[in-house]
A = this chain, B = another copy of it.
Amino acid sequence: MQLVESVPNFSEGRKQEVIDKIVSALSSVQGAHVLDLSSDSDHNRSVVTLVGKPAPILEALFRGTEKASELIDLNKHKGTHPRIGSMDVIPFIPFRNVTMKDCIGLSRELGQRIASELHIPAYLYAYSATVPQRIRLPDVRKGEFEELKEEIKKKERFPDFGEPCLHPTAGAVAVGARKFLLAYNINLKTDDLKVAEKVAKAVRESSGGLIGVQAKGMELKEQGIIQVTMNLLDFESTPLYRVYELVKLEAQRYGVEVLESEIIGLPPARALIQSLAYFIKLKGPTSNITLEERLLEKLYD
């Protein structure tokens, strides 16, 4: 059985009736399952977790993109999160018995279809990127909807699919294949944001830490919490436990302990069991060892 995950992001996080209609479109294909929805009103953006076999997922994403393009006018959209389109980003993630190559194929197929049927230009990013300058989303989104209107006419910003011209209201879309992303936060027993910032600097890839880790120090003022907020972009290479242990170690330099940690979103079971295995010296495999994983295998036989 082949299962793929997709985590489409669309540019509406406030109007519930709009969110509902787009999620309905994403749920309207049998075999494509919406497992999670998270809307942020500051970002004015919603993130959906979708799982299923490749074909229904592809169709569900197309319908969701179509609906978002009908209901969201980027000319009127305001939010703190950068965006280029009403359906802004669509990643494909290998979940079970699917390769990265399969996901690259899916992203290309969807991008092409969105461009030709909805007249929304599509950029390939991450593992699907055709040039190094398009691997990272911030590069693809540079200038956002407002500036991309002009920029898209330059050769280096030509879309991978569609004409070099933004859809007047729906903008453009980034589609691509990537690995699972684990959003992982560790709260520290301190009121000093600087400690979290120093720890974040020590653990993140960009300043010399762990491969595949993005991190920054944050203060959640309302809750009075100092946090190292992280994305783990490759849990196979850099597991949760290693990140936890390194954050703990680096915080200890400043006499600060870990208060608690939290996982945002829905990780695959193996991402968690892999880390338990470290703590209890578990021998043997760390995937396909739960009832749930085995049952899914049977159901998709």
Contacts and interface: CB of A to CB of B under 8 A. Distances in A.
Interface of A: 3, 5, 33-36, 49, 51, 95, 240-241, 244, 258-263, 266-269, 272-273, 275-276, 279-284, 289-296, 298-299
Contacts of A284: 262-263
A261 B290 contact: no
Contact of A290 (B241, B258, B259, B269): B269
Nearest to A240: B280
A275 B280 contact: yes
20 contacts: A3-B295, A5-B291, A33-B295, A35-B291, A35-B295, A244-B279, A258-B281, A259-B281, A261-B281, A262-B284, A268-B292, A269-B292, A269-B293, A272-B276, A275-B276, A276-B276, A290-B292, A292-B293, A292-B296, A295-B296
A5 B258 CA distance: 38
A199 to B, nearest CB: 15
A92 to B, nearest CB: 14
Contacts of A280: 240-241, 244, 261, 275
A63 to B, nearest CB: 18
B262 A282 contact: yes
A33 B298 CA distance: 7
Given A266-B289, A292-B292, 15 more contacts: A35-B295, A51-B294, A240-B280, A260-B281, A260-B283, A261-B280, A261-B282, A263-B289, A268-B290, A268-B291, A268-B292, A269-B290, A275-B276, A290-B292, A299-B299
B294 A282 contact: no
Contacts of A267: 289-291
A267 B295 CA distance: 12
Given A51-B291, A291-B267, A283 B261 contact: yes
B269 A269 contact: yes
A33 B299 CA distance: 8
Nearest to A290: B269
B295 A282 contact: no
A274 to B, nearest CB: 10
Contacts of A281: 258-261
A266 B283 contact: no
Contacts of A3: 295
Q: Which 7 A-B pairs have the closest CB atoms?
A: A35-B294, A33-B298, A292-B292, A279-B279, A276-B276, A269-B290, A260-B283
